[in-house]
Amino acid sequence: MRIRPGGQVTLADVARESGVSPATASRALHGGGGRVVGQDLRERIVEVARRLHYVPNAHAQALAGGSTATVGLVVHDITDPYFAAIARGVIAVAAERGALVTVGTTFRSMERELEFVRTFRAQRADAIVLAGSGFEDADYRAAMREELDHQRRTGGGCAVVSEHDLPVPTVLPGNREGAAGLGRALVAMGHRRFAVAGGPPCLTTVRHRIEGFLDALAACGVPLCDVELLDHPFSEDGGRAAARELLDRGSRATALFCVSDVMALGALDVLAAAGVAVPDDLSVVGYNDVPMMRRLVPAVSTVRLDLEAMGRSAMELAVDHGSADAPVVRFPAEVVLRASTAPPAAVPAREGGR
Amino acid sequence: MRIRPGGQVTLADVARESGVSPATASRALHGGGGRVVGQDLRERIVEVARRLHYVPNAHAQALAGGSTATVGLVVHDITDPYFAAIARGVIAVAAERGALVTVGTTFRSMERELEFVRTFRAQRADAIVLAGSGFEDADYRAAMREELDHQRRTGGGCAVVSEHDLPVPTVLPGNREGAAGLGRALVAMGHRRFAVAGGPPCLTTVRHRIEGFLDALAACGVPLCDVELLDHPFSEDGGRAAARELLDRGSRATALFCVSDVMALGALDVLAAAGVAVPDDLSVVGYNDVPMMRRLVPAVSTVRLDLEAMGRSAMELAVDHGSADAPVVRFPAEVVLRASTAPPAAVPAREGGR
DNA sequence: CACCAGGGGGAAAGCGCTTTCCACCCGGCG
DNA sequence: CGCCGGGTGGAAAGCGCTTTCCCCCTGGTG
């Protein structure tokens, strides 16, 4: 990035032009220090500042001890409606409290996530919110734990959305329960052979949803060896790839559980193109209930999470809790059955290939 | 926001612990000043820094003359896929250049938009990108012009997406042309009576799209007095309200032009609930071609804009152009006709009410 | 009339870092 | 053997702002 040269109007300029000291100018403009500046003097200084187009240097203010009013938000991908909704909640609460939100986009890279946290710490962010799923990696987890630990120890706040196994304030969406509910619902419909389109198992959220789903199936007496696990990226393209694998291997599954709505979207594209009828040939379910799901035809069964509220909650937890406590706020998951699920056809055999 | 107390590890701590001066410590860690620190000494200092969990204070660095590597992005609403896509482009380019993006969400308030720009200036952002439509307000425009002027004059960059009538680098989506194309396409299909669901006319983008549409109709010989203008907020709810008004007044329009896809989404909801068949009873079109539109049933006709590329371009313009020039990069709009549009039925009379 | 309280302003000390400008130590050269 | 120049480390001057002291002036009080 280019280096900003000087040439800015400084407080000293305003002071000189007004014939007062920088101290007085600061007090007049910022009203600070519990001190009062004479009415007329202040008005004159404010007028001069306006005339000179004075803009205080936020870095200098922060350095000199003022508050920074900045929060760092880490997401995997801001175009994913899941993160957009959470971000909206975070931003709303931050705005209420007069803080600005800086967004770091990791594209699901552990390294980048850590780097963003470090950058936010360098900026002395008042709070850091991790919106994405954690990674199942010991090194990552230790490093992140240390970062957040220091963040809190030095008076900053932080919070995470989703299970991170970190001793910090946590917003916990119902991943296991929701997936389990979905599993039970599908079994109740008569399904016995399942496929699961999961993102990389290194994402905690993915693991929990899959485990919840499988546990429920097992509890219902479905032999897990019949469940096909399709391991593909946690994205729309990943969903597409999963569906293609399903078709290629000539799967006999009657229901496909995609661990996120965006994956379901991708899968549905491929299935439609291949002429697979949903739900007649295959029931498809997603997770999160992003706004699009209810509008598709057939409308997609999924699990509803109040994402914006989760974002709000995370932001509140981050700023309201000292380093001592690490509360966990659970958000319930609600199974929403729509037209993309139906009892399996009597003769569910299907040709593979594409 | 809480005020961060000190208690942080500073460069001086690292220097003392390593038995060197702050100057040497700075050079060792940051490699700066075109100067070299002895190999072994540097390693020792780096090691000490790591052991102490030293995190440089970005504000101090910025103040002392280092670069800030920050860009400010102003959007109306980050959950709107239109802005999310643009944001993605901006963030991608910023990341390539090692900069962080701070997002300000205005919820379509002129005051907030100006305030964000001032805040970004205070942060000495390297670049400021305005992603949302400008407002048709002389005071706003003068104020914004002055802010951006100073931003550039002091070495910062800036760029706007959409028409702002500002002498700064501009990314110009084809609003008039796209809307005109849509209008011609509808007329060619046989439509003669139209309704337009527009956001508030104070948004330049809205005005241009409506004007482009009406101009095309007029050019095709459609009497404009027959065109019903529905003035509602530029949002999904606004689209809903527009559709309700359409129904309430027992409109005889055969085609509805929504100035944005999200408005179309809201309108389609209401129309579906009211039993209006699309496109048989009413053709509906949107604008922007956000990903959802092609998946709806019927798939929605709209105008495609490469939003992410627009974001990338805006970011590039912002950082690559000094205060002298104000290039304009045009992005073509492409009419995409899908199933939501069809020739009007022979007997288009329809009952109003709801 | 001396004294004190308090309002209003200024001087100056940082905040943590970068970056000149110096000082020093060596080896090499005339 | 005196000098010079390159390679290294340190001292110190800010960057622009806030805030603690400190000072002065005014006016009320004993």
Contact list, A123 vs chain B (CB under 8 Å)? 58-59
Number of domains in chain B: 3
DSSP class of residue A276 equals: -
Coil, strand or helix at A77? coil
Contacts of A2 in chain B (CB under 8 A): 67, 126, 155, 157, 319
Query: How far B216 CA lies from chain A's nearest CA (Å)?
Result: 32
- The nt closest to B28 (CA vs C1′) is D9
Distance, Å, A62 CA → D20 C1': 18
Q: Is residue B3 part of a domain?
A: no
Question: Are residue B297 and residue B180 in the same domain, yes or no?
Answer: yes
Cβ-proximal residues to A31 (8 Å cutoff; 6+ apart), any chain: none
CA distances from B272 to A158, B244, B247, B284, B337 (A): 44, 11, 12, 12, 20
Average pLDDT per run of 10 along chain A, which is 354 residues long? 61 92 91 74 92 92 82 93 95 91 89 92 93 93 93 91 92 97 97 94 94 97 93 95 96 96 97 96 97 94 98 95 87 97 72 41
Give the C-alpha separation, B246 to B16, whole Å: 74
Helix count (H) and strand count (E) of chain A? 12, 12
CB B43 within 8 A of CB B28: no
Same domain? A199 vs A292: yes
Let me know if residue B345 belongs to a domain: no
Determine which of B29, B57, B59, B154 to mutate to test the interface with A (most A C-beta atoms within 10 Å). B59
Residue B5 CA to nucleotide D17 C1', Å? 17
The residue segments making up the domain with residue B29 are 11-63
Task: For residues B267 and B251, state if they share a domain.
Answer: yes
| Strand C contact at CB of residue B10, distance < 7 A | yes
- Name which of B160, B100, B158 is nearest B127 in CA terms: B158
Distance (Å, whole) CA B49 – CA A9: 36
Residue B68 pLDDT more than 60?
yes
- Is B354 inside any structural domain? no
Q: Is the residue at B337 inside a domain?
A: no
List CB contacts (< 8 A) between B88 and chain A.
Answer: 77-79, 105
Q: Is A342 helix (H, G, I), strand (E, B) or coil?
A: coil
The answer for residues whose C-beta is within 8 angstroms of residue B321's C-beta and 6 or more apart is B157, B159, B169, B327
- Out of B57, B84, B150, closest to residue A78 by CB: B84
Please enumerate in sequence order all residues whose Cβ is within 8 A of that of A131, keeping only pairs 6 or more positions apart, or say none. A73, A74, A75, A76, A83, A86, A87, A90, A161, A311, A314
The phi-psi region of residue B224 (left if phi > 0; otherwise alpha if psi is between -120 and 50; otherwise beta) is: alpha
In a domain, A3, yes or no: no
Q: Do both B51 and B79 map to the same domain?
A: no
- Per CB-CB distance under 8 Å, the chain A contacts of B84 are 78-79, 81, 84
B163 located within any domain: yes
Which residue of chain A comes nearest to B152, CA vs CA?
Answer: A4
Nearest nucleotide from residue B55 CA, by C1' atom: C16
Q: How far apart are CA B256 and CA B149, in angstroms?
A: 40
Using the CA of A36, give the nucleotide whose C1' is nearest: C8
Q: Which nucleotides of D are covered by protein (CB under 7 A)?
A: 7-12, 14-20
Report cis status (omega within 30 of 0) of the bond before A348. no
| Residue of chain B minimizing CA distance to A155 | B4
From A49, A62, A67, A64, select the one nearest A8 (Cα to Cα): A49
**Which residues on A lie below 8 Å from B53 (Cβ)?**
146, 150
Q: What is the DSSP code string of A202-263?
A: TBHHHHHHHHHHHHHHHHTT--GGGPEEEE--SSHHHHHHHHHHHHHTT---SEEEESSHHH
Q: What is the pLDDT at residue B226?
A: 86
Q: A117 with A88: CB under 8 angstroms?
A: no
Same-domain pairing of B52 and B158: no
CATH code at position B260:
3.40.50.2300
Question: Strand A255-258 relative to strand A194-198: parallel, antiparallel, unpaired?
Answer: parallel
**Which residue of chain B has the CA closest to A95?**
B105
Residue B340 falls inside a structural domain: no
C1'-nearest nucleotide to the CA of A15? C10
Q: What is the CATH number of the domain that holds A40?
A: 1.10.260.40
pLDDT tens column, B80-132: 999 999 999 999 999 998 888 888 889 899 998 998 999 899 999 999 999 99
pLDDT value of residue A33 = 59
Candidates B91, B124, B296; nearest CB to A78: B91
Counting Cα atoms < 13 Å in the Cβ hemisphere of B302 gives 25
> Could you tell me the two tokens for A185?
């619902």
A and B: number of Cβ contacts within 8 A? 173
Spatial separation of the C-alpha atoms in residues A334 and B202, rounded to whole Å: 41
Is B17 near strand C, with its CB below 7 A from some atom of it?
no
Residues 54-73 on chain A lying near strand C, CB distance under 7 A: 60, 63-65
Residues of B in contact with A292 (CB under 8 A): 292, 295
Say which residues have a Cβ less than 8 Å from residue B290's Cβ, sequence separation at least 6: B81, B82, B85, B261, B262, B307
Residues B140 and B161 in one domain: yes
Q: Do B8 and A154 touch (CB under 8 A)?
A: yes
Give the tens place of pLDDT for each residue, B169-202: 999 999 999 999 999 999 999 999 999 999 888 9
* Nearest-nucleotide field for B21 (CA, C1'): D10
B306 burial class (0-12, 13-18, 19+ CB within 10 angstroms)? Answer: middle
Q: Which of B78, B99, B122 sits opposite A84 (nearest CB)?
A: B78
Report whether pLDDT(B11) > 60.
yes
User: Mean pLDDT over residues B205-230, rounded?
Assistant: 95
Contact B67 A104 (CB under 8 A): no
**What distance in Å separates the CA atoms of residue A73 and residue A243, rounded to the nearest whole number?**
32
Domain shared by B191 and B236, yes or no? yes
What's the average model confidence in pLDDT over B43-65?
Answer: 91
Look at A105 and B88 and tell me if their CB atoms are within 8 Å.
yes
Regarding whether B280 and B236 lie in a shared domain, the answer is yes
B45 and B157 within one domain: no
Q: How far is B221 from chain A (nearest CA, A)?
A: 36
Question: C1' nearest to CA of B39: which nucleotide?
Answer: D8
Round to a whole number and report the distance in Å from the CA of A310 to the C1' of C26: 65
For D10, which residue's CA is nearest its C1'?
Answer: B21
Nearest CB to A123 within list B5, B58, B265: B58
Percent of chain B surpassing pLDDT 70: 94
Cα gap A88→A90, rounded to integer Å: 5
Is residue B341 included in any domain, yes or no? Answer: no
CB spacing of A59 vs B68 below 8 angstroms: yes
B98 and B245 in a single domain? The answer is no
Q: Are residues B288 and B223 in the same domain?
A: yes
Q: Mark whether A163 and A256 lie in a shared domain.
A: no
Beta-carbon separation of A155 and B4 below 8 A: yes
Per-residue model confidence (pLDDT) at position B185: 97
Q: CA of A94 to nearest chain B CA: how many angstroms apart? A: 9
